[in-house]
Amino acid sequence: MLKHYPLAIFVLLICLCKADAQIIKANVLHPVFAGGASLAYEFKSDGNSTTSIYLSGGKKKDFIGIYDAYKFYNLTVEQRFYTTHKKARSQGFFVAPYAKFMYRNYFRQGVDAGIWFSRPDVELSGYSVGLGCAAGGQFAFTRHWLIDCFAGLGMSYYTQKEISYDNGSSGYPDVRLGVSLGYRVN
């Protein structure tokens, strides 16, 4: 049930926005690294800035050797401040503070290697919230099509629970990388 709320919020925000510049983007790196999809909606909010809303999710087996299965849903909102003269068309270099909310679930298969090593099955789920800052560039190659490249670093605070007990809370670095292909609606 929870996985449908971020999508509903994303669609509602797009419907409510009557902005001059509207861009819909898909991160092409996301399917490779996270095994899912990442969509973004960017709209002009004032003179030299835009607001971007990202909705992503993924499900991947053997997540970089740490867990056997990993799935997540993510909602990120960022405010982009463009630094170049092409501000009116949301192009050029930018800096973008962001806020992020994520739900995730991990599963790790237990291992029994006799007296040397054993590990029980583990399933963890939890939520995280975070803040950070990204930088990058967005450049059009036709009137409507554009490419958006960014990298960001932040800090997220999460709480997770194992099936049998509360694992507690802690912080971790949040890294964002993306190369998105976008389409300017107007």
Domain boundaries, the chain: 4-184
pLDDT of residue 152: 95
pLDDT of residue 20: 61
pTM for the structure as a whole: 0.77
> 10-residue block means of pLDDT along the chain (186 residues)?
55 58 87 83 82 87 62 90 69 93 76 61 80 94 92 87 58 87 87
Return the number of other C-beta atoms located less than 10 Å from residue 9's C-beta. 13
pLDDT of residue 157: 86
What ranges in 17-137 are assigned the alpha helix state H?
30-34
pLDDT of residue 182: 93
Query: How far is it, in rounded angstroms, from Cα 102 to Cα 37?
Result: 14
pLDDT of residue 108: 67
Question: Residue 42 has which token pair?
Answer: 């960017």
pLDDT of residue 68: 65
CATH number for region 4-184: 2.40.160.20
Question: Residue 116 has which token pair?
Answer: 């040397």
The structure tokens 């950070």 sit at 132
